[in-house]
Structure 1
Amino acid sequence: MNVAELPKIELHLHHEGAAPPAFIRQLAHEKRVDLSGIFKSNGSYDFRDFSHFLNVYEAACQVLNSPEDFRRLTLAILEESAENGVIYSETFLSPDFCGGGDLSAWKDYLSAIQDAAEEAERKFEITLRGVVTCVRHFGPEQSKRSAYCAAETAGDWITGFGMGGNESVGAQADYKWAFDCAREAGLQLTTHAGEFGGPESVRDAIRHLGVERIGHGVRAIEDPDLVHELIDRGITLEVCPGSNVVLGLYPEFDSHPIAKLRDAGVKVTVSTDDPPFFHTTMRREYEMLHQAFGWDAEDFAALNNTALEAAFCDDATREKVKKRLEKQ
């Protein structure tokens, strides 16, 4: 069996970061906004390093400024994901980019995104759930506004809360209020750590924010005690190998620690992060992991089971996705 054709579950996907370049260029054309500086001559996104990537990301978001824009974007993302075999996805949504942190505006954006998700489920048999994220480099005070938006819209569709952005800004503990607010609203928690911040950032996320999942987390491999702690606590890592390679954490898939973490007993999953930026898809992630580590259909089935168990969704949704996995 071609492993790339297997059904897939993805838990770490930034909504704006999944915007196809052609989609952003079309919106820019419609709105007469000059974004030519963020694209290469071949039409792909152009950035030098992680810091520049964040700048390009936010520049692309300039043309995503209405609920209708996000409705169209959601359909484009889910069609692309479904074409790559994804049957369940969780997307990171930031109220900062969807209404500027204003609750009323956030609800309008969210309604449009959910409408598109329902349409995509009918058309493409892919289920989407939303994880609200604050943006770390926007600061702790702004994170409180995002957490409030998350808490006020928590339910069957907005099921989690997390944090993305630049890990070099502040400390995990600075955002404790936002995570406590989200937890009290019944949301499950994740945060980016162990990418550029090193293993100590993972430990800080666990101890100060009480998260159930870690976005990336791969630098934990550098600290054996931390690896044991992840195992003991049952924390799941949302690993994005292709992203890590493109951003220079590891020179190639062969040297990525996902296999060592998995062999040690850490719960790992596979996602694309910001797929068009990092020239990847879920299909490519599977292909590269198969080539690098010899993972077969049984390995990927186990990976999907881990992801399904860690998914921020209710039991009815989990059962629906499970049946979809079994059918394929």
Structure 2
Amino acid sequence: MTVATLPKTNLHLHLTGAMRPATLAELAARDGLPLPPPFVADAVHEWAAFQERYDLARAAIRGPADIARVVVEAAEDDAACGAGWIELQIDPTSYAGVAGGLAGAVEAALSGAAAAPIPVGVVVAASWAAPPDHALRLARLAASYAGRGVVGFGLSNDERLGTVADLAPACRAAAEAGLRIVPHGGFYTPPAHVADCVRLLGAHRIGHGLAAMRDPATRDLLAARGVALEVCPTSYPPLGVATIADLPIGALRAAGVPVALGTDDPLLFGGDLTTQYTLVTADPAEQADLARCAVTASAAPPDVKARLLAGIAGWAPTIVP
């Protein structure tokens, strides 16, 4: 048995960023579009450099069939890494123009999820930069699909662009429909932002959230409420947030904070789901613990969770180098 066969979930994955490089090349060539340049190795890039590359890649997605294809292929790629459940995030605003509207974008993602080889939950997201009324509109849209494939409501993009309290009504509307609240926080922002996402938004998980480790009170809040951090190791070095060696995963786990490893935007940052595990630890017991954390923190149905947890328990004693 190898790390690739460890049963896993991927709880932090964005639609465009989940695209295969070959698919992006094909779709871009179809419409004569430029490809995003790779990040310069060992250089630190500003957020704007990431956003420019992401926007170039997103421009290649030209309709519902492209959206569905990306979802299916992302699920295939994660399944090859042992995943039995993924949660894929989409901001419908970014695709409404090519998908027939906001609902059309969600429907296209759900169509892909229905055709995927493993179960896929869709997370509808608003941007931190979105006006509160638009975020509320998206939350209500997500709520209308609760129980029909949409499992969460997120806040993505640069969290410095919004105010936590302004987005509380949107998160409340989504939570009332039974959706998981999964905002990004603590990437560029301080620990207080992470704490506010928990207290004001009712966050069930935090995307990234590494800043929490700098404040014991915030770390203890996460541990006490069982709020998981979605940590994506390959995302941080190119943006100067942290090196792999500096990731405080062991300290977070020792403090009782759940950690769920994800891939974020593998198209741009590289690294599949298995790679995220091998980068942070070579200890099978720690890898199994991280896999269990992610399953427990997921919105997967009870039978899927039970199957994955049983698989993790069966995997751990059989690992070989």
**TM-score, length-scaled by structure 2:** 0.89
Aligned match of 1:266: 257
* Rounded Cα–Cα distance in structure 1 between residues aligned with 2:84 and 2:303: 15
SS at match of 1:55: helix
Alignment match of 2:105 (pick from 101, 106, 109): 109
Map 1:243-254; keep pairs closer than 5 Å: 243-250=235-242, 252-254=243-245
Shift of the 165–88 alpha-carbon distance from structure 1 to 2, 3 Å rule, reads same
Alignment match of 1:119 (pick from 108, 112, 115): 115
Do structure 1's residue 21 and structure 2's residue 18 form an aligned pair? no
Residue 303 of structure 1, CA deviation: 1.6
Amino acid at match of 1:25: A
Aligned match of 1:302: 289
Aligned match of 1:12: 12
Shift of the 4–287 alpha-carbon distance from structure 1 to 2, 3 Å rule, reads farther
Superimposed CA distance per residue, residues 204-234 of structure 1 (whole angstroms, 9 cap, x where no aligned partner): 1112111111111111111011111111112
Aligned match of 2:319: none
* Rounded Cα–Cα distance in structure 1 between residues aligned with 2:191 and 2:138: 26
* Rounded Cα–Cα distance in structure 2 between residues aligned with 1:276 and 1:322: 29
SS at match of 1:9: strand
Alignment match of 1:48 (pick from 45, 49, 54): 45
Aligned residues of 1:6 and 1:297 also touching (Cα < 8 A):
no
Map 1:1-328; keep pairs closer than 5 Å: 2-32=2-32, 34-36=33-35, 38-40=36-38, 48-99=45-96, 105-121=101-117, 126-250=118-242, 252-290=243-281, 294=282, 296-325=283-312
Aligned residues of 2:38 and 2:268 also touching (Cα < 8 A):
no
Q: Which moved more, 1:109-118 or 1:161-170?
A: 109-118
Superimposed CA distance per residue, residues 146-197 of structure 1 (whole angstroms, 9 cap, x where no aligned partner): 2122111111411111101111112111211211111122212111111111
Residue 2 of structure 1, CA deviation: 3.6
* Rounded Cα–Cα distance in structure 2 between residues aligned with 1:41 and 1:188: 32
* Rounded Cα–Cα distance in structure 2 between residues aligned with 1:101 and 1:63: 10
* Rounded Cα–Cα distance in structure 2 between residues aligned with 1:8 and 1:142: 34
* Rounded Cα–Cα distance in structure 1 between residues aligned with 2:48 and 2:303: 40
Aligned residues of 1:95 and 1:101 also touching (Cα < 8 A):
no
Aligned residues of 1:74 and 1:113 also touching (Cα < 8 A):
yes
SS at match of 1:113: helix
* Rounded Cα–Cα distance in structure 2 between residues aligned with 1:326 and 1:204: 35
Gaps spanning 5+ residues in structure 1: where? Answer: none
Amino acid at match of 1:98: Y
SS at match of 1:168: helix
* Rounded Cα–Cα distance in structure 2 between residues aligned with 1:9 and 1:281: 12
Gaps spanning 5+ residues in structure 2: where? Answer: 316-321
Superimposed CA distance per residue, residues 45-81 of structure 1 (whole angstroms, 9 cap, x where no aligned partner): x993222211221222122131111111112212222
Q: How many residues align?
A: 314
SS at match of 2:288: helix
Amino acid at match of 2:34: L
SS at match of 1:80: helix
Shift of the 69–301 alpha-carbon distance from structure 1 to 2, 3 Å rule, reads same
Aligned residues of 1:237 and 1:268 also touching (Cα < 8 A):
yes
Amino acid at match of 1:316: D
Residue identity (%): 32
* Rounded Cα–Cα distance in structure 2 between residues aligned with 1:249 and 1:48: 10
**TM-score, length-scaled by structure 1:** 0.87
SS at match of 1:96: helix
Shift of the 223–269 alpha-carbon distance from structure 1 to 2, 3 Å rule, reads same
Superimposed CA distance per residue, residues 291-324 of structure 1 (whole angstroms, 9 cap, x where no aligned partner): xxx4x22222222222111111332332344455
Amino acid at match of 1:35: P
* Rounded Cα–Cα distance in structure 2 between residues aligned with 1:167 and 1:107: 25
SS at match of 1:147: helix
